[in-house]
Amino acid sequence: MRILIRTSRWAIWARRLGGVAVPLVVISVALHRLRLITSDLFVNAVTAAAVVALLAVVASVVALARIWQSGDHGWGKALLGLFFGLFCLAPFVWYGNLAAKYPPVTDIATTTRGLLPLVFEPGTAAMPPPRVLSKAQASALFPNAETRSYPLGQAQTFALVVQLIDDNGWDVRMVREPNAALDPALINAQIMTIPGWREEIVVRVTGDAASAKVDMRSASLNARHDFGANGLRIEQFLADLDTAVTSWLRDNPNLNLPETEAAEALPAPAPS
């Protein structure tokens, strides 16, 4: 007589739930990035996906325990459900860790925000009110997000800023070039995070032909928590700008010298 070995129902449900959680996450992110759903609907959708993924993990663990004891079939289904569930829960664990590390902030700036206006202005119906840190909090969390001063002219400093923004692949929305009156130069660009949150950066360059100051703002446009992204972005961008300016000055040592000193610094012409 042939003995039939049944497949664990827990394993079947683990595989089904895991198979539902993955497309829920992927489709929700895709629709949010394409702006086909609102941010509130996106949050609801990924929360539902997280619940389904958690159920898949629970069902997988129960299935594996019962299969071990009973000898039923379903190892593959249970393990696949466990993998899908953990795969979908990994981003929530990641962002949960960031939420524990950083307070719910959406707007970081190195100077007065009024000097760094967004293209997408705060206060409109589509943008939540900005959440900001005190100066002491910002200094503690993001100590390198500070105004930069360079012994390099405004125009060339602004050119390096534009190049860095282009290298980062950010979507430039507005540019105010340096001019003869030495008015502040501004550039606004937008960034989209992997889940589809939109963030805007503003860089302001002031100065003259021999020196420049750089300020930066980074703000979330449709989120209520940036998970530290804005402050970290400012720190990284300004660190990269420090490197770019240092390299430029190294390669052009006579750039800001007076004409007489620059002429003396040039190598003597070779005898004919």
- pLDDT tens profile 34-87: 999 998 899 999 999 999 999 999 999 999 998 888 877 888 899 999 999 999
Q: What is the pLDDT of residue 255?
A: 66
pLDDT of residue 125: 52
User: In sequence order, what are the residues at sequence separation of 6 or more whose Cβ sits closer than 8 angstroms to the Cβ of residue 1?
Assistant: none
Below-70 pLDDT ranges, the chain: 1-5, 121-127, 255-272
For residue 82, list its beta bridge partners: none
Question: What whole-number distance in Å separates Cα of residue 192 and Cα of residue 168?
Answer: 12
Nearest CA-CA partner of 229 in 134, 111, 141 = 141
For 3, list phi and psi in degrees, rounded to 5.
Answer: -95, 120
How far apart are the C-alpha atoms of 189 and 130, rounded to whole Å? 18
Which architecture characterizes domain 107-251 according to CATH?
A: 2-Layer Sandwich (3.30)
Closest CA to 63 of 51, 83, 77, 53: 77
Identify the pLDDT of residue 120. Answer: 73
Task: Give me the pLDDT at residue 265, please.
Answer: 44
- Whole-prediction pTM value? 0.83
- Please give the single-letter amino acid code of residue 123: G
**Cα–Cα separations (whole angstroms), residue 168 to 154, 165, 172:** 21, 5, 11
- Quote the CA–CA distance of 234 and 141 in Å, as a whole number: 12
